[in-house]
Amino acid sequence: MNNHAKSCVLSSRCKVANSAKCNGQCPHWISLHGASGSGGRSAATGLPKEYRLVTLESSPVATEQPKIYETLAKYITTFERQFEDGDDNRIKSLYLYSESPGTGKTTTASALINEYLIANYIGSLKRGRQADQRAAYFLDVNAFQTDYNLATMTNDESAMNEIKATIKRTQLSPFAVLDDIGVRSASEAFRSYVHAIINYRTTNGLPTVFTSNLPIEEMKTVFDARLYDRMRDQCLTLEFGGESHRGVRKQDQRGLR
């Protein structure tokens, strides 16, 4: 596999990945990764760079959570429903849970972002449509909370405007990941922002992948019973087993989260 194929999220689905046609002038490469390789639709997802190429097939978590990945292999086939109308074609949400950190939840959620991005891009081309510029969005709730705390502490109006823009992006994205939503130590104001994101997405039937170290029942106290009821509607809970591998993976930049 050549260098461009190694750094393209489409490589496993592309017929020319190992040929001379796979190069920096490929229009699909540019559409997904930008001319520089660090932009395009992939960067628009908000995924950290180390997760931008992971798919279910390439995920290091697959061998450690085989039953979950069997379920997810079936789940991603429902991504074709994004091109269909009607409540009967709704894509379910997922709640990825483990009591221990480092069992692969974030890596798996990132793989699902990329699977949705690929499905949107290829499916749009097949239908003669323009693929979404932001088909999916990844929100690291911990990082979002840090940004919020800093913005409010320094009265940074520009940063607060970015906070509002992030809320809107996450609300409106066709597919989204909310990574680590157990925000027990958050202020009431910040919790209300996360509540607003989840409420909008659940009310509008937008598929969302939640990751958390708290069981879904705890969302009754993190948020409220009404939002909890909306979250669990059309939502499949998958519990990750095993111990943390974060330290083991750190050397190869694939730290499982």
Residue whose token pair is 């409106």: 172
**Which of residues 24 and 179 earns the better pLDDT score?**
179
For residue 246, what pLDDT band results from cuts at 50, 70 and 90? low
Contact 200, 171 (CB under 8 A): yes
Query: For position 100, what pLDDT does the model report?
Result: 87
Query: For position 148, what pLDDT does the model report?
Result: 94
**Which of residues 209 and 10 earns the better pLDDT score?**
209
Contact 244, 102 (CB under 8 A): yes
- What is the rounded CA–CA span in Å between residue 73 and residue 3? 27
- What are the structural domains of the chain? 1-38 (no CATH), 43-252 (3.40.50.300)
Global confidence as pTM: 0.91
- What is the rounded CA–CA span in Å between residue 33 and residue 50? 14
21-69 pLDDT, tens digit each? 777 788 898 999 998 889 999 999 999 999 999 999 999 999 999 999 9
Strand, helix or coil at 128?
coil
Query: For position 5, what pLDDT does the model report?
Result: 61
Query: For position 249, what pLDDT does the model report?
Result: 42
119-153 pLDDT, tens digit each? 999 999 999 999 999 999 999 999 999 999 999 99
Contact 76, 119 (CB under 8 A): yes
The rounded percent of the chain whose pLDDT value lies above 70 is 91
Structure tokens at 56: 């279910």
**Which of residues 236 and 101 earns the better pLDDT score?**
236
**Burial classification of residue 195, based on how many CB atoms lie within 10 Å of its CB (0-12 exposed, 13-18 middle, 19 or more buried):** middle
Please name the residues in contact with 61: beta carbons below 8 A apart, sequence gap of 6 or more. Answer: 69, 104, 107, 108, 111, 256
